[in-house]
Amino acid sequence: MKIGTFDLNGDKTFVIAELSANHGSRIEIAKESIKAAKEVGADAVKIQTYTADTLTLDCDKEEFIIKGGTLWDDMKLYDLYKEAHLPWEWHEELFAYAKELGIEIFSSPFDKSAVDFLERFDPIAYKIASFEITDYELIRYAASKGRPMIISTGIATIGEIQDAVDICRSEGNDDIVLLKCTSAYPAPLEDANLRTIPNLAETFGVVAGFSDHTTGVTAPIAAVTLGAKVIEKHFILDKSIGGPDAGFSLDKEEFSQMVKAIRETEKLLGKVDYSMTEKKKKSRQFARSLYVAENIKAGEVFTEKNIRSVRPGYGLHPKHLKEILGKKARKDLPFGERLQWEDAE
């Protein structure tokens, strides 16, 4: 499976810098952020395509006021999304700028009109946000475009996850990535449950990844060790920009550290390998083997005193010690001589 030019079947992890609301309502900041994401090693930048009116109603009723211990408590939903949204008129310039820089860019559509709008930019994928996983018609419409589908599972039941996967496949689209996600901002570490990542891949027959809302870089690195092939993390050029997502976003230096750690983790994971490489062969000089521990005369019996398993590893394998003991020396053997089969009779 490929997302743009990135092959998810390879050994590398697809790292997405989520711009989200971290643009300060200025296109210059959005462009600088895309450039910075490229510089720190992200494989792609993701934006969001919605307006306050496509997400909610401009309503003052209590149920439209955010509660529940979030960063945005007491804000009206409409006001939050009005502040956070990335203007649609920026998209053409941002897509062109990313292409010029050589970094992939795509978006999360939040309704069918956003999908129609994004199609003109030939996006490499569609991302379904965690709160949209229950919008089956949005998933169906986006999947019908034949582009890879990246779906966050944050609030979904296992049945809803299965429904989302089935909907994509019913549209002939089997290029599906499911992201383990904790829909809290920021998310507590104890709620991450990263062991779900390999289970997502196994249960649903998809590529699995991680959309991270924790602070710091520990969780994405741990996710990669568990098989995450896609990592999505909120990125902000500078936290002084502020905004709704700044509190759980990584700045340029932090994101760079995360990418570096992920790339090092990929090297550490390597592959299942029991082969005897040249490095291993060279290191075996420090293993034990059988050596003559004191001068032995021809015909003398080998004992635990005159034959010992010691370093280095140039002599007979230690597993043969019991077979050697009790045999006799075929010739004189000086102290420090490596023992060979032909030395015994």
pLDDT of residue 141: 98
Q: Same domain for 187 and 40?
A: yes
Q: Same domain for 95 and 209?
A: yes
Q: Residue 27 maps to which CATH number?
A: 3.20.20.70
Q: Same domain for 122 and 41?
A: yes
Phi first, then psi, for residue 172 (nearest 5°) are 75, 20
Q: Same domain for 128 and 210?
A: yes
The residue range of the domain holding 319 is 278-343
Q: Residue 322 maps to which CATH number?
A: 3.90.1210.10
Maximum Cα–Cα distance across the chain: 102
Phi first, then psi, for residue 231 (nearest 5°) are -125, 125
pLDDT of residue 162: 98
User: Which of 222, 245, 269 represents a domain boundary (last residue)?
Assistant: 269
Q: Same domain for 163 and 205?
A: yes
pLDDT of residue 248: 86
In a domain, 60, yes or no: no
User: Which of 250, 269, 288 represents a domain boundary (last residue)?
Assistant: 269
In a domain, 63, yes or no: no
Please tell me what DSSP assigns to residue 34. Answer: H
In a domain, 62, yes or no: no
pLDDT of residue 62: 93
pLDDT of residue 242: 87
In a domain, 1, yes or no: no
Q: Same domain for 258 and 289?
A: no
Q: Same domain for 254 and 315?
A: no
| Whole-structure pTM value | 0.88
Q: Which two tokens stand for residue 268?
A: 């550490």
pLDDT of residue 186: 86
How far out from the chain centre does Cα 69 lie?
28
Residues with pLDDT less than 70, the chain: none
Residue type, 74: D
Q: Same domain for 230 and 287?
A: no
C-alpha triplet 115, 116, 121: angle, nearest 5°: 85
Domain count across the chain: 2
How far out from the chain centre does Cα 214 lie?
14
Q: Which helix (H) or strand (E) holds 130?
A: none
User: Which of 235, 251, 269 represents a domain boundary (last residue)?
Assistant: 269
Q: Same domain for 173 and 319?
A: no
Q: Same domain for 228 and 290?
A: no
Coil, helix or strand at residue 178: strand
pLDDT of residue 198: 98
pLDDT of residue 150: 98
Q: Same domain for 125 and 181?
A: yes
Q: Same domain for 219 and 296?
A: no
pLDDT of residue 243: 83
